[in-house]
Amino acid sequence: MLLNQMRYWFTLCFILAWWDLGIVSGQRPIVPETYYTEEHLSDLRAEVRELFYHAYNGYLNYAYPLDELQPLTCRGVDTWGSYSLTLIDALSTLAVLGNHTEFRRVVNVLSELSFDSDINVSVFETNIRIVGGLLSAHLLSHRSGINLEPGWPCNGPLLRLAEDVAKRLLPAFNSYTGMPYGTVNLRHGVPPNETPVTCTAGVGTFIIEFGVLSRLTQNPEYEAVAMRALKALWEHRSGIGLVGNHINVETGQWIATDAGIGAAIDSYYEYLVKGSALLSRPELMEMFLHHLDGINRYMRKDDWYFWVTMTKGTVSLPVFQNLEAYWPGVLSTIGKTSDAMKSILNYHQVLKHLGFVPEMYDVQQREVRPQREGYPLRPEFIESLMFLYRATMDKNLLAMGEDVLRAIQHSTRTPCGYATVKDTRDHRLEDRMESFFLAETTKYLFLLFDSENFIHGDGLSGKPHRVASRSCMLDTGAYIFNTEAHPMDAGALDCCHGPTERDIWQKVWFPKESSETSSSDSNDDGVSSFLSSPSIEICNKPAWHSFLWVKHPLRCPASLSASKTWTGKRRKSSNFSLMTCEAAPFMQMLCVGGEVCDI
């Protein structure tokens, strides 16, 4: 009996150790190296392609021009804004799939679209899905054979459309703190009686879209409002480096103080990392790393991330949310692949248990949380698989991706599309197909199985492009995905003059005055005093250069370039590296794109 028990424990320990060594290090995979041959992968790509078109055609046939398809009743419905949302959200996926004919057709259709409507919309959703979708399509349009306007990518019809929408969102940022309200009316601005309470992600998820807009159009306003909102959030972080999940944008008071990495906060963290790389802003990466310390210290338990109180860090909710599953993807892009792998294995256990990752899973009880048992076809888990696979090439990640594909095909397919799972315990369906299914879930699935896709360029080659006297390099693989999976080619930002750093910060600090003052009359003293405020350092001081080579150094106002302005809460150790060597493959792509280089 004792011997049997010992044998059992010995075998179990052996299996666990093997599992840990094999999968976590990526050296001895469970999936044999011979599996996932090119032929197999080609079949998987064909299957994802078919899946995409089944849903896309279902939308066109039954729902367009309304926002979304109702896949059980085969009808359409307006959800987020009455602006043909799914069509715009799906556009960059058409480019990734290489369907240039349909891409061109949709671009033509969009030229008729007007956003001058008397409707209230979510500032966050409109930004990530519509502004992000249009900007990404604008930057990808050179691939589709569209006749480009002279001066592209610094102008063009999709850019103008994106700017038109962004302009309609700008009134939301006119709050006392600079953090945006959650809703605007596309014609009349912030509705009277709008609540001043916005979620953290709703404040901190603009720098990618608004940064790209400013760099392409030379109008500093967009990047400035996004930076101002980020700065305000940062200044309201707790003493242990965490942020809550809802804040009053007029007073700066936290209204919901639970801190996590998921719902209502998620893309704030994502945008610090991606915004830093896309726009060569190391200060955003430093902010992220500061938060990461707090997250690892207080939230991380056995590679799950629990909700904790933002000031004390005590666990308030020991759950895993589907929306948290983007986190291993973010960790992969900064080189923390081992941490990423451990969490993805946890999440995969949930998938194996229920078939899908539910909205909320109680880690201690090992069951779904009541009221949060659905799966609305979200992308986060597959998104992380894709990023982690690019970083490790561990074929177990392909197998996990195939698990997702099988589950979607088996349980959610309907005669005209794919439907939300209402309850992951019995796979009952509900009549909704969110637009992110075509923007993100299908795109990440395809990209997971398509190593040769142009998106995965290795940074060693690109397509030179010239606009007037400026030259830039396109299509190097330096693609940064916004949180709706719309890829932005970082190299394209170098094609346009963009505003100066001074113009941007002038606007951040003097939003009202600067709209009436040209940058040449700028007030040096004012800007300088802001730059030296004890919050974030916005210029690239020597300390940064020792970690990171920035090909185009951040444009500090000349008067400040020699000054030492850092007085904020700096990490004690000065020898940490912003981009670890493990992150080099990812950063290399940005390097050729003219962005951040690895060290």
- Active site amino acids: 125, 266, 359, 380
Q: How many residues belong to the site for ligand DMJ (CB under 6 A)?
A: 10
- Per-residue contact flags (x/-) with ligand DMJ for residues 251 to 290, judged by CB under 6 A: ---------------xx-----------------------
Q: Give how far the C-alpha of residue 451 lies from the chain's centroid of Cα atoms, to the nearest Å.
A: 21
What does the alpha-carbon distance between residue 104 and residue 98 come to, in Å, rounded to a whole number? 11
Q: At closest approach, how far in Å is the CB of 273 from ligand DMJ?
A: 14
Taking the CA atoms of the chain, what radius of gyration do you get in angstroms?
23
Instruction: Please report how many Cα atoms fall inside a 13 Å half-sphere around the Cα of residue 170, on the Cβ side.
Output: 18
Nearer to ligand DMJ, 129 or 168 (CB): 129
Rounded to 5°, angle at Cα 504 from 499 and 507: 130
In this structure, how many other beta carbons lie within 10 angstroms of the beta carbon of residue 570? Answer: 12
Nearer to ligand DMJ, 146 or 325 (CB): 325
- Structural contact between residues 271 and 261, judged by C-beta atoms closer than 8 angstroms: no
Q: Is 379 in the site for ligand DMJ (CB under 6 A)?
A: yes
- Per-residue contact flags (x/-) with ligand DMJ for residues 70 to 109, judged by CB under 6 A: ----------------------------------------
Nearer to ligand DMJ, 207 or 578 (CB): 207
Nearer to ligand DMJ, 392 or 483 (CB): 483
Do strands 307-309 and 254-256 pair parallel, antiparallel, or not at all (unpaired)? unpaired
- What is the SS3 assignment for 377? coil
What does the alpha-carbon distance between residue 415 and residue 580 come to, in Å, rounded to a whole number? 48
Select from 508, 538, 558, 480 the least CA-distant residue to 223: 508
Q: At closest approach, how far in Å is the CB of 319 from ligand DMJ?
A: 16
Binder among 221, 402, 431, 484 for ligand DMJ (CB under 6 A): 484
Which of these segments, 67-75, 244-252, 378-386, 451-459, binds ligand DMJ (CB under 6 A)?
378-386
Select from 339, 331, 337, 197 the least CA-distant residue to 255: 197
Q: Tokens for 575?
A: 């020898």
Q: Is 378 in the site for ligand DMJ (CB under 6 A)?
A: yes
Using omega within 30 degrees of 0 as the cis cutoff, is the peptide bond preceding 65 cis?
Answer: yes
Nearer to ligand DMJ, 29 or 204 (CB): 204
Q: At closest approach, how far in Å is the CB of 437 from ligand DMJ?
A: 9
Measured CA to CA in angstroms, residue 150 lies from 50, 141, 154, 546, 574 at distances of 36, 13, 9, 40, 47
Q: At closest approach, how far in Å is the CB of 293 from ligand DMJ?
A: 23
Measured CA to CA in angstroms, residue 486 lies from 200, 353, 394 at distances of 21, 31, 25
Q: Is 304 in the site for ligand DMJ (CB under 6 A)?
A: no
- Per-residue contact flags (x/-) with ligand DMJ for residues 234 to 253, judged by CB under 6 A: --------------------
Q: Tokens for 328?
A: 């291993």
Q: At closest approach, how far in Å is the CB of 379 from ligand DMJ?
A: 6
- Per-residue contact flags (x/-) with ligand DMJ for residues 346 to 375, judged by CB under 6 A: ------------------------------
What is the 3-state composition of the chain as percent helix, strand, coil, each rounded to the nearest 5? 50, 15, 35
Using omega within 30 degrees of 0 as the cis cutoff, is the peptide bond preceding 542 cis?
Answer: no
Select from 538, 502, 490, 531 the least CA-distant residue to 281: 538
Q: At closest approach, how far in Å is the CB of 378 from ligand DMJ?
A: 4
- Per-residue contact flags (x/-) with ligand DMJ for residues 177 to 216, judged by CB under 6 A: ----------------------------------------
Q: At closest approach, how far in Å is the CB of 206 from ligand DMJ?
A: 12
**AA letter at 557:** P
What does the alpha-carbon distance between residue 439 and residue 435 come to, in Å, rounded to a whole number? 6
Nearer to ligand DMJ, 380 or 494 (CB): 380
Nearer to ligand DMJ, 93 or 280 (CB): 93
Q: At closest approach, how far in Å is the CB of 128 from ligand DMJ?
A: 6
Nearer to ligand DMJ, 126 or 514 (CB): 126
Q: At closest approach, how far in Å is the CB of 69 from ligand DMJ?
A: 16
In this structure, how many other beta carbons lie within 10 angstroms of the beta carbon of residue 257? Answer: 19
Do strands 420-423 and 413-414 pair parallel, antiparallel, or not at all (unpaired)? unpaired
Nearer to ligand DMJ, 403 or 440 (CB): 440
Select from 589, 492, 432, 480 the least CA-distant residue to 132: 480
Which of these segments, 16-24, 377-385, 398-406, 468-476, binds ligand DMJ (CB under 6 A)?
377-385
Q: At closest approach, how far in Å is the CB of 409 from ligand DMJ?
A: 19
Nearer to ligand DMJ, 331 or 597 (CB): 331
- Structural contact between residues 506 and 519, judged by C-beta atoms closer than 8 angstroms: yes
What does the alpha-carbon distance between residue 419 and residue 409 come to, in Å, rounded to a whole number? 10
Q: At closest approach, how far in Å is the CB of 129 from ligand DMJ?
A: 7
| DSSP H or E run through 465 | strand 463-467
DSSP for 35-69, written as a single string: SS-HHHHHHHHHHHHHHHHHHHHHHHHHTTTSSEE
What does the alpha-carbon distance between residue 1 and residue 552 come to, in Å, rounded to a whole number? 70
Nearer to ligand DMJ, 394 or 484 (CB): 484
Residue with tokens 């698989």: 385
Q: What is the DSSP letter of 267?
A: H
> What are the residues whose beta carbons fall under 8 Å from the beta carbon of 289, sequence distance 6 or more?
571, 576, 578
Q: Which of residues 111-140 bind ligand DMJ (CB under 6 A)?
A: 128
Residues that bind ligand DMJ (CB under 6 A): 128, 266-267, 378-380, 436, 440, 483-484
